[in-house]
A and B are shown apart, each in its own frame.
Chain A
Amino acid sequence: GAVVSQHPSRVICKSGTSVKIECRSLDFQATTMFWYRQFPKQSLMLMATSNEGSKATYEQGVEKDKFLINHASLTLSTLTVTSAHPEDSSFYICSAPTRPPSNEQFFGPGTRLTVL
């Protein structure tokens, strides 16, 4: 099946620093990727839709200047958490849908961000 990778799997940083998370589709091309965030014992909340070659679409309440998304190629999307604060500590997961007619989405393994 399709594989999506994320890097890094875990990151610990100091408050005020920026953190970049990469999401790669390994064996298929993804013109669209999705970024989710999951707090402990909560469900996955969609943050933004990453579109190859155009600007990302952010969900209501998500600061686009804080969570920078770049979809540089058909296999890579990056999420940069700028000036991270402890409240940004969360589990960040990307996903990519395969092309039609398949309707499946494949999730990356997730990135655990801890901001001290």
Chain B
Amino acid sequence: QKEVEQNSGPLSVPEGAIASLNCTYSDRGSQSFFWYRQYSGKSPELIMFIYSNGDKEDGRFTAQLNKASQYVSLLIRDSQPSDSATYLCAVKVGQAGTALIFGKGTTLSVSS
């Protein structure tokens, strides 16, 4: 059974700090990895996706992928109170058009 694991948190960081969110997945056939942010009562919104091993940076966000360890992470630099939300890790096994498998999410709280 395909599984995506995340620490539910809450993860609490002060404003301006780096928040580190982690995710592991069970299926070695996983090909694409996504990080979504979800505010309470809202639909998930895509932050980043990563396909290849290594780091991918986009503004304050950096996604890191290690397929050998089946591990993907998201770093948020200069954390802001508006970053407080639940962060969902999602994995796609297969080609385009395949559904995503989501982790339970990590709740991040950034205090001012």
Contacts and interface: CB of A to CB of B under 8 A. Distances in A.
Interface of A: 31-32, 34, 36, 42-46, 49, 91, 93, 95, 97, 99-110, 112
Contact of B102 (A43, A91, A109): A43
Given A107-B45, A108-B43, A112-B41, A43 B99 contact: no
- Most B CB within 10 A of own CB, among A95, A102, A103, A108: A103
Chain B contact-residue range equals: 20 to 34
14 contacts: A34-B100, A43-B88, A43-B103, A44-B88, A44-B100, A45-B102, A49-B99, A93-B44, A99-B96, A103-B92, A104-B49, A105-B100, A109-B43, A110-B42
Nearest to A106: B46
6 closest A-B pairs by beta carbon, nearest first, are A43-B104, A110-B43, A43-B102, A100-B96, A44-B102, A107-B43
The secondary structure that dominates the B interface is: loop
Contacts of A95: 100
Given A91-B41, A93-B43, A109-B43, 6 more contacts: A36-B102, A43-B88, A46-B99, A97-B97, A99-B96, A105-B46
A103 B96 contact: yes
A104 B92 contact: no
A103 B92 CA distance: 9
Contacts of B96: 97, 99-103
